[in-house]
Structures are given as C-alpha cells and as structure tokens.
Amino acid sequence: MKTIKGKQLLQGEWGLLLILVVLCLVFSFLSATFSSLSNLLNITRQVSIVLIISIGMLCVVLCGEIDLSVGSTAALVGVGCAVTLKATGSLPLALLVTLVLSLAAGTVNGALTVFGKIPSFIVTLASMWIIRGIALVWTSGRAVSGLPKGFAFLGAGHIGIIPVSTILCLLLILIAFFILHQTRHGVYFRAIGSNLEASKLSAIPIKKYKMIAFIIAGLMSGIGGLITTSKLLSAQAIANEGMEMDVLAAVILGGASLSGGIGTVIGTVLGALIIGVINNGMNQLGISAFYQQIVKGSIIIIAVLVRRNKDK
Amino acid sequence: MKKAVTVFLTGLAFAASLFANGTADTAKEANPESKKITIGFAVSTLGNDFFVMMKNGGEEKAAELGVNLITLDAQDSSEKQANQVSDFITRKVDLIILNPCDSDACGTSVMAANAAGIPVITVTRESKAGKVIQHLDIDNKEAGELVAKQMIKDLKGSGKVAVLEGIPGASSTNDRSQGFLDGIKGTNIKVVVSLSANYSRENGVTVTEDILQGHSDINAVYAHNDEMALGAVRAIDAAGLTGKIKVYGIDAIDDAVTALKNGEMTATVQQQPKLQMETAVQNAADYLRGKTLESRVNIPLKLLTKDNI
Amino acid sequence: MAEVLRLSNIGKVFGGIEALKNIDFDLREGEIHALLGENGAGKSTLVKILTGVHQADSGEIYLYGKKVKIANPIEARKKGIGVIYQELSLINSITVGENIFLGNEPVSPVFGKYDRKRMYERSTEYLNQFGIDIDPKELVSNLRMGQKRILEIVKALALNAKILLLDEPTTGMSNKEIDTLFDIMDSLRQKKVTMIYISHYLDEVFRVCDRATVFRNGRNITTFDVGKTNTDEIVMAMIGKDVKQNRTVPVRNLSGKETALEVKDFRTSIMKSPVSFSVKKSEILGITGIIGAGKSELAHSIFGAAGPHKGTIKIFGKELDMHSPIEAKKYGLAFIPEDRKTEGLFLNDSISDNIIRANIRMIEGKNHLLKNKLKTKITVDIGNKLEIHPLEPGMSVRNLSGGNQQKVVIAKWLVGNPSVLLMDEPTRGIDIGAKAEIYAHIRAMSIQGKTTVIMSSEYEELLNECDRILVLRSGKIVGELDPSKTSKSELLALSLGGKHK
C-alpha cells in the first residue's frame, strides 16, 4: 500500500535533487570556476527571473490551466516601467505602472478563461501575441534606454555578496511555499486541478480561485519583467522572448502535471536550478551554441525519466 | 457567445501579429498604370536598432523620391522571410530590397524573384544564390578589422579578450569574427573565450556574467554587435569592473553612442545603416528609371570613439 | 401471422451464473413485442445473443423456420437483425446521410469514388418513406437527441433489417418525438418488420406493443397479450411473490416537527413539470423511480449544481437563491453524489484530505496555516463514528473498499454539521454489511435532528428505512406512500406506469 506521508514535500523531488547534485559535480570536475561561490551566486541570479515567473505558472498549472503569455507580459511590463521612469523620473510611479499592467494582463487572461469559458491555451496563446504586439507598437521596436543608473540595483545589484534579485526570488519562493503548501489556498488550487466536478460538489469556489491563479501569474510575470529591465537598464519589446518555454520546462521538470492537481514549489525550484546549472555549466566550459541545445534537451529528458523512476 | 469571442480573439491576435511583423503599408498597391514605384523591403529583424535605423532612412528617402516603400519584418526567421518575399512577388512589386536573415537560406527566394522578373537588391548581407542587380555591403570583415586596430592601440598590443558572437552561422557573424581575428594576428592579444549571445542584449548580459566567473582578468570584450555589447556593459557594471574592461561593439546604435559618451563603451563601428538604405532606395529608383548600376557598393565604415562622435 | 424467430431452450452461463435458463421465445412477423424485466433479469443477454455478440451455450435459434447460428454481429446484420442500443452509434461530425450509409457507401463504378449524389438521393428516399423531417445534409451534431434516435432506426433499416431490437429507444425524447417514433414503428409494422421493444415505461408498452414477455432471473416467466393484461399482473410477473417484508425500523410520528426542506413548483430545463414536496426535520424521505425518472437531476438541482431553475426552495423557512453549491452549503445542505469516484472523491488524495475538503476553514489557524494535527484528529473522530476501515488518515482513499469510500464522502459532509443531507444512491455497489452500517448512521443522524432525503432505486431498503416514500416518474411525483403500508410491487407499478386494474 502506498502511503502519502505527512511531509509531502520531497516525494519525487529527491530524484531532482540527485540530478542537480550530479550535474554540479560533473561541471565542477570539468570546469575550474564552476563551483566557486561567486559563480554559484551568479547562477542563482540568473535563474531568479525564470523562477519567479515559474511560481506564477505553477499556480495556474495546479488548477489545470496554462498561461503562455508570461514572457510577453514580462516584456510589456518592462516597457511600461521604463517608459514611465524615463518620462517622469519617478520610481514609485513606475512601480505603480508595473503593478497595474501585471494585474491587467492576469485579469484579462483569467476573465476570458473563467467567464468566457474559452480554453486557457487559446486565451493565453492569443494574449501572448497581442501583448507583445502592444509592446512592439508602443516602442516602435526600439529599446527604451537612458534609465537612471540607480535603477539597476534590483536586477544587477548586491546586498553584501548576494545578488538582490536572488534575495527577492527567495522571498517570493518562501511566500509561495507558505501559501501553496500550508494554507487552504494551495489545497483549493490542487483540488480544482485534480477533480473539477468533485470540487464543485464540495462547495469549493472554483471561479474565484482560477481568477486568482491567473492574476498571480500576471503579477509574477510583471516582476520578472521589472527585474529584466533593471538588469539591462533598458526595456525592449522583444525581451523575455521564449520565456514561456523556459518557465514551463522548469515547472514540468519540477514534477507538475499539465492536467492539474500536482506540483510543488520545491520541485519547481529544483527544475529551474537544473536548467540554470546546465546553461551556466556549458558556458563555463565554452561549449559552442550548436551543441548547447542538444545537450540541454537531452539532459531534460533524462531528468524526467530519472524522476519518474524514483517515484515508483 | 463563446464561439464568437474565440473568433474575435483569434482575429485580433492575427491582426496583432501582422502589426508585430512590421508595417504593412496598405496605402497604395503596385499599380502598373500609375507612375508610383513600389519597393518591397524584406528586413531580417526590427528588434535590432541597426535595422530600425535602416528602415527609417529608407522611408525618408522613399518619401523624398515619391516612392512607395513597404517593409516586412521577418523577426530573424528565414521561413518567415521566404513567405514575405513570396508575398512581394505575388503583389508584383517593382523591386525587392532584401536584407537576408541567412545568406544561404534566402537563395531560393532570390531565384523566385528572378523567375518572376522582379529585380533584387541585397543590403548588409549577401545572398549566396540567385542574381541581384546590386549588393550594398557593409563589409563586416572590415568592421572587425577596425575594431581590432583600435583595440591594439588601446591595449598597447597585448591583452586578453572575450568575444561575444552573433547568431551562429550568420554570414555577418562569420565575417565580423574573421575580420577581428585577422586584425589581431601577430600581436599579443589573445581571445580566451568566444561564446554566442545571439545578437541579443539579454543574452549579452547572461553570457558576460558567465564569462566573468572564469575570466575576471580579461582586458576587453569584443561583441559582434552593440546590443550584445550593451548587455556586456551591464554585467561588467554589476561586477564592479567598469573602466577595467573595455567594451567594443559594431552598429553604432543610439544607445551605444550614449555609452561611448559616458565611458561605458570604448568604440563601435558606424556602418551607416541610414546611408546604406538611402543609397539602396535611390539606386533602386534609378534602376527602374533606366539607369544601370554597379554590382557592388561599399558603404564606408567609420570607427567611433569618445573622441570623434 | 408467420413466425419469424423461435428460440428453443436457450441457455447462457457467465462465470458460473446462469444468465439465461431454458429460454423459449417466439416472435411473429410484423409484431411489436415487449421484453420486460428488472435489471439483471437477462434481457440484454438475450439481445446480445440475437445480435451475435455472445453465443448461446445451449439451445437452438430458428430464423424463418430454419435453424441458424449467429456467429458475430456482421452475420446478424446479414441475416437482417438490427439493433438500436441506448448508447448512440452515430458520428456527430458528419452528416445524416453519411451516417445512414456509414460502411455501406454507394460508390461510382469508375474509381470507387464516394457517390454522394446517389447517397443523398437514397437518404432522402428513406427519410421520406417514414415521413421524417430531417435534412440528410444536416450535421448530426446539430440534431436533438430524439432525432438522433430516429436516425439510428433509419440507419438500421438502410441495412435491410427485418427484425429490429430497440433498447430503451425513448430515452431523452420529447413527447412529440415519441409520437413520431411510434408512427414510424407503425409503418414498419405495415411493412412486415418485426420489433422487439425493451423498455421500463409501461405506458409505452401498453400504447404500442402487441405482446409482452417478462423475464425474471434468467427465465422466461410468461408472455402476455398486451391488450388483455394490466400493470399489476406484469409487475407480479417481474418480481414474483411479493413477500411482505417485516420492517425492522419502527415507524415514527413526525407530525409535530417543523418543516426542514420545502420544494415548491420546482422546474429545470430537464424536469419540465413542477415538483413540490416538503420534508420535516429529522425525517428520512425516500425518493424512488426508475433510472431516468429524474432523481439525480432533482438532487443536483436542489443542491445548486445543475442549470438554472424555477420555483422555490426553502430551508427552515429561509428561501434560497440556489445558484451554487457554495450557497447550498451555507444554508446547511449537503450532497452525497451518485458517482463517488468522479463526483465525490479526490482519488489521488488521502482519507483525511478528502474528509476535510469541504470544510478546510475548520483547520485554519489565525495565520492561515493549516493545522495538520487537527485535521488528523477530525478524521479519526468521524472515521470512528462512521466505522471507516482501515482508518489510516494518511492512506490514499483509492485503496478503500467501495463501502468505506462512500463513508468518506458522507464524513466529508458530516464534518460541517449540515442540517439537510441529499443522498443519491448511497448504497450502490456496496456490500451488505456496509449498507447496514450506512443506514444505521443515517438513523443516528436522524435522531440528532438531521433531515435526510435518499434518492434510490433499492426498493427493499427504502421500505425498511424511510418515513415516507415519493415515487418519481418522468420528472413528476406520481405517488406518496407510507412504507409500512405499501409494497415493492406497488412501488414498482407506480415507477413503471402503464395500466392499472
């Protein structure tokens, strides 16, 4: 009989942790600089954007939905923030615009899915194009630069030796862990994704929670876009291109199921870290771009297989 | 209701993607009866300031000459570009100005235009197949050489360099690489690492961050274009190494010029995208009015540093 | 009338159980012959033998006087035996005509190309022949359920069926469509097509059938001449000796109690006629009827889990908007649905997770943290009360037996202390011991003052446990009975309808 332990934190995650450790060992062995503290912190900074957005995606996926527009939202929010900052020089105002755009994107996605009853795949596929289109029109395809140097603190700054974006990412992970695993909200997300009918008949507010999931996704995407803009000290409509794929990869690699109901914060963190380590390690080794793609794809398949076997 | 909203969304998305593809100028179609010339400009990507400047230059010149210039953006995809050239042929434009995404892949498109009797002018990158009436070159090799020359001056002939490469396989990447390597031959300047950042500013940051882990003692970064160079600038700044590592780029986009002014970048190469496109449009109009053209035009390059902006 | 079919001493055993025993049966040309019996009596086994899905273990089949073997469905079809099952065999994404000729398409002689013109011509012929007003070029997905059933018949006829078996054909049909169906059956009769008609609706049987055969426990009990019999005779044949049970649960007098649930003029898109009833506090009300009578729809609708409705629902005098289960729960309603696996449980989760799911706020602390220890305690408490075995809170609910799973669903709602419980077939698929336990708990809850409405088709249980029984037929309440004074045969007769003495 298979028992679900009280601590349902590290089930299939052990397999992921194993893979992560193995990868780190291999890269440390092959590259002199991989395992230096500075590089490890570098990796955490590099994955922070993907990881933050992945948290938003996790909420949506737990409900049995999907959000393909995360990259586009990040780009639009970044543009909005940069334009506001450049025009007014006011950081609070820029942050307000960031917040408004993020919430707007999430709300529209959520409303069309929940109330328009259109499959989220279609809604967010369309919004993926539309939102990026809006960003392109807004900027006429040109980068928005000339932002105050101090603004780079968020994406490129440090507190002590730890990158600021890492700290922010850690904070958001802790909040997500708390909400998704320790409160009823996480239970509701999972219930809705695992059995919609039973959830309805158990008096769980389905519409409300799906809306919340999409709004969280929009918010996280916005934060990701904000950090990107800060890091580059400029915003481009083409920023974060392909981000949705990286985010989905992290979430799925981390053990979430696209049909809903299954997924953990720790798994997502490990998934993002594995991909981040692979990217960084290959760069450290100077592996050509041609090979990097093949290696990355292969490692991901192997990781999924290992994780699945560990589950049994 | 649900069906109607889906259709509306799809239509809206489709319209937006057309928008995102660049301006489809619906003003006046090519009309053999009227004297107005229509030129189709198939640009590789408008996500790069260099080409945006080209487009602006082209449009100004076209307005001045009373010529209709339609621009389609392939977003760096060879497949998209092939479709777009095909569209131009179907619309029976008078001439196509092509900025290939990839010098090999665009061959069939050029040959198709040839077969349809539409003349083709290439800018910035060549097409390896098919016949063009003119190619306007920005000699990427020469650009690489100019950077090398300046770097030798700045580093006094010796030092460690990291290279940020453009899109793997693009002819511009290969040429900018080769030109630079030729330029530093025989000196004590060594390339310690060379990685692709795909001509993107975002990738430029990430790759430079990674490079700095293993090679924090480099003296300079040579990026095949300004977008990547600007990314490198941010990573260097985050590591607190501004001023210690010189950054070189190519394209002379506005942000790079700003970076030169405030000392974040050391040099860039002006390939005069505006001038290139203005010349292309002028030559196109001339050709359609009966003039013969030289097969090759080299737009003069200019190395820009803080001193000579 | 000539005899088209004769079955002689047919027997069929499935895994040691005699599904059919010594069946003699005959069918006369052009008659409409009803086949009646309770679930499990052997009707569908007979149909499967006639259509070649199963082979009889013993006995012979004679078709037009000649002994035959029906080895498989294709042979059955070739011999002119057609069947209309309850589950439709139409393909929704293609047209009416294409469905009629599915597998049988007329092709042009040259390249074997699909001759659509001819196909539509012949479809129109068929449809006109029976006066059916459906456009052969219409997509099947656009048809109503009733039209789809009629189309099934046309499809069988296109395959030259001479003997047609119809299994519950009027399910989901409007009255007008049923009329059309019967007209078609009448004209088929004129054309000497013979029909076997399986149905629970005795009104229909009395309306359109010539003879009726009743099966019970795999045996052919008797064949009636429909014009000369009545419902009670038929019901007697269906259930045999109606042994009056001795009720073990004492009858109660609830006249002084207040009204817990009042349903007035309740109508939904499916239940077209208004339903009204009320239930007193701590009463155990049984609502019965055959499958399709509307019990489940009623339960879902009262709980707010179905479409919009008209009429009023009051809980202890307070009127409900009833647009959602969330509201129903607030007013003290609970619903234990029919299909526990898909509607009641989260199979991937543990017992305790399932039990707490409808009332998570109970284990929420001040800081929104969930108290797992409290969750376990609640699980153990209620699990002991309901005797859930094995009571391991962390164990996956998937591993419990059906009876215990059902108890988990009940526990899920009891945790929140509801005042009115709606239960849809609460003891289906559960062993006898668990059934007794569940009813014991329902009685215990009743003593505590909770009101229970049980939708069920298990007549014996309802007769034993309930204070009152309502009979539902075709969405209407057709009887209100005192369990201590009625019998299974009376319940069945009311459920089936038809002619009474």
Residue of chain C whose alpha carbon sits nearest to that of A196? C343
- Tell me, yes or no, whether C370 and C463 share the same domain: no
Residue of chain A whose alpha carbon sits nearest to that of C366? A183
Q: For chain B, say whether A126 makes contact (Cβ under 8 Å).
A: yes
Question: In this structure, which amino acid lies at residue A214?
Answer: F
Q: Which residues contact C221 (CB under 8 A, 6 or more apart)?
A: C214, C215, C237, C238
Which whole-number Å values give the CA distances from C134 to A178, A184, C146, C147, C224, in the listed order? 60, 53, 12, 8, 36
Q: Are B244 and B223 in contact (CB under 8 A)?
A: no
Q: CB A136 to CB B213 under 8 A?
A: no
A contacts of C329 (beta carbons < 8 Å)? 203
- Tell me, yes or no, whether C125 and C190 share the same domain: yes
- Considering only the beta carbons, identify the residue of A116, A136, A280 that sits closest to B5: A116
Q: CB A183 to CB C369 under 8 A?
A: yes
- Considering only the beta carbons, identify the residue of A184, A194, A201 that sits closest to C360: A184
CA dist., res. C298 & res. C300, Å (int): 6
Strands B246-248 and B220-223, bridge-based pairing? parallel
Domain ranges for chain B, please list them: 26-138+272-299, 140-270
Please report where in the chains the tokens 């057609």 appear, as a residue.
Answer: C82
Is B26-138+272-299 a CATH 3.30.70.1560 domain? no
Q: Are C378 and C363 in contact (CB under 8 A)?
A: yes
Same fold yes or no, B26-138+272-299 and B140-270: yes
CA dist., res. C411 & res. C386, Å (int): 7
Specify the CATH number for the domain of residue C26.
3.40.50.300
Residues in chain A, total:
312
- Classify domain A13-311 by CATH number: 1.10.3470
Q: For chain B, say whether A164 makes contact (Cβ under 8 Å).
A: no
A contacts of C350 (beta carbons < 8 Å)? 4
**Which helix (H) or strand (E) covers residue C110, if one does?**
none
Please report where in the chains the tokens 């349809």 appear, as a residue.
Answer: B116
Interface probe, candidates B202, B224, B233, chain A, greatest A C-beta count within 10 A: B202
Q: CB A194 to CB C346 under 8 A?
A: yes
- Considering only the beta carbons, identify the residue of A183, A197, A262 that sits closest to C370: A183
- Tell me, yes or no, whether C314 and C400 share the same domain: no
Interface residues from chain A to C (CB-CB < 8 Å): 1-6, 178-179, 182-185, 187-188, 191, 194-195, 197-198, 200-205, 261-262
Please name which of B202, C88, B88 lies closest in space to residue A243, comparing C-alpha atoms.
B202
Range of the domain at C378: 340-417
Strands C318-319 and C476-481, bridge-based pairing? unpaired
Distance from CA of C121 to the nearest CA of A (A): 40
> Is A43 exposed, middle or buried, given 0-12, 13-18 or 19+ CB atoms closer than 10 A?
buried
A contacts of B22 (beta carbons < 8 Å)? 141
Q: How many domains does chain C have?
A: 3
Q: How many CB atoms lie within 10 A of CB C368?
A: 12
The answer as to whether C59 is a domain residue is: yes
A contacts of B210 (beta carbons < 8 Å)? 39, 42, 280, 283-284
CA dist., res. B172 & res. C483, Å (int): 91
CA dist., res. C461 & res. A304, Å (int): 52
Q: Are A83 and A225 in contact (CB under 8 A)?
A: no
A contacts of B255 (beta carbons < 8 Å)? 143, 145-146, 234
Q: CB A201 to CB C345 under 8 A?
A: no
- Tell me, yes or no, whether C232 and C153 share the same domain: yes
- Considering only the beta carbons, identify the residue of A2, A188, A203 that sits closest to C325: A203
Percent of chain B with pLDDT over 70: 89
**What number of CA atoms fall less than 13 Å from residue C296's CA on the CB side?**
10
Please name which of A4, A9, A34 lies closest in space to residue A181, comparing C-alpha atoms.
A9
- Tell me, yes or no, whether C215 and C118 share the same domain: yes
Q: Could you read off the pLDDT tens digit of each residue along chain C, which spans 501 residues?
A: 688 999 999 999 887 788 899 999 999 999 999 999 887 788 888 998 999 988 999 999 999 989 999 998 888 988 999 888 877 788 888 889 888 888 777 877 777 788 888 889 988 988 887 777 888 998 888 888 778 888 888 888 877 889 999 988 887 777 888 888 898 888 888 888 999 999 888 889 999 999 999 998 888 989 999 999 988 888 888 887 766 667 777 778 777 788 899 998 888 877 778 899 999 999 999 999 887 778 888 888 889 888 778 888 898 988 888 678 998 898 999 999 988 888 889 998 999 999 999 998 888 888 888 888 999 999 999 998 888 888 889 899 988 888 889 999 999 999 989 999 999 988 887 877 888 888 989 999 998 889 999 999 888 889 889 999 999 888 888 899 988 888 888 888 888 887 765
Chain mean pLDDT for chain C: 87
Q: Are A67 and A59 in contact (CB under 8 A)?
A: no
- Considering only the beta carbons, identify the residue of A42, A141, A234 that sits closest to B213: A42
Q: How many CB atoms lie within 10 A of CB B305?
A: 15
Give the mean model confidence (pLDDT) for residues B41-50.
88
- Considering only the beta carbons, identify the residue of C357, C364, C372 that sits closest to A6: C372
Q: Could you read off the pLDDT tens digit of each residue along chain A, which spans 312 residues?
A: 334 443 444 457 888 898 899 999 999 999 888 888 888 898 999 899 999 999 999 999 999 999 999 999 999 999 999 999 999 989 999 999 999 999 999 999 999 999 999 999 999 999 999 999 999 899 987 889 888 888 988 888 889 889 999 999 999 999 999 999 888 889 999 999 999 988 988 888 999 999 999 999 999 999 999 999 999 989 988 888 888 988 998 998 898 988 888 899 999 999 999 989 988 888 888 787 778 878 878 877 887 777 666 554
- Report pTM: 0.76
The answer as to whether C248 is a domain residue is: no
- Considering only the beta carbons, identify the residue of A183, A191, A201 that sits closest to C335: A201
- CATH architecture of the region B140-270: 3-Layer(aba) Sandwich (3.40)
Domain ranges for chain A, please list them: 13-311
- Tell me, yes or no, whether C409 and C378 share the same domain: yes
CA dist., res. B205 & res. B231, Å (int): 4
Question: In this structure, which amino acid lies at residue C298?
Answer: L
Which whole-number Å values give the CA distances from C479 to B264, C255, C333, C493, in the listed order? 91, 19, 25, 11
Interface residues from chain C to A (CB-CB < 8 Å): 303, 305, 324-326, 328-329, 335, 337, 342-350, 353, 357-358, 360-361, 364, 368-370, 372, 392, 394-396, 399, 412
Q: CB C368 to CB A183 under 8 A?
A: yes
CA dist., res. C477 & res. C479, Å (int): 6
Size of interface A-B (CB pairs under 8 A): 118
The answer as to whether C227 is a domain residue is: yes
The two three-digit tokens of residue B65, written as one number: 């000459």
Q: For chain B, say whether A240 makes contact (Cβ under 8 Å).
A: yes
Structure letter (DSSP) for residue B19: H
- Tell me, yes or no, whether C323 and C354 share the same domain: no
Contact B/C (≥3 CB pairs under 8 Å): no
Question: Which DSSP string do the residues of C224-243 spell out, in sequence order?
Answer: EEGGG--HHHHHHHHH-S-P
Interface probe, candidates A7, A62, A181, A201, chain C, greatest C C-beta count within 10 A: A201
**What phi, psi does B50 have (nearest 5°)?**
-55, -50
Distance from CA of A196 to the nearest CA of C (A): 9
- Tell me, yes or no, whether C124 and C179 share the same domain: yes
Distance from CA of B173 to the nearest CA of A (A): 13
Q: How many CB atoms lie within 10 A of CB C308?
A: 10
Question: Where do the H-state alpha helices sit in chain A?
Answer: 13-30, 37-62, 70-88, 91-114, 120-139, 153-156, 164-182, 184-194, 196-201, 206-232, 243-253, 265-284, 289-311
Q: CB C396 to CB A3 under 8 A?
A: yes
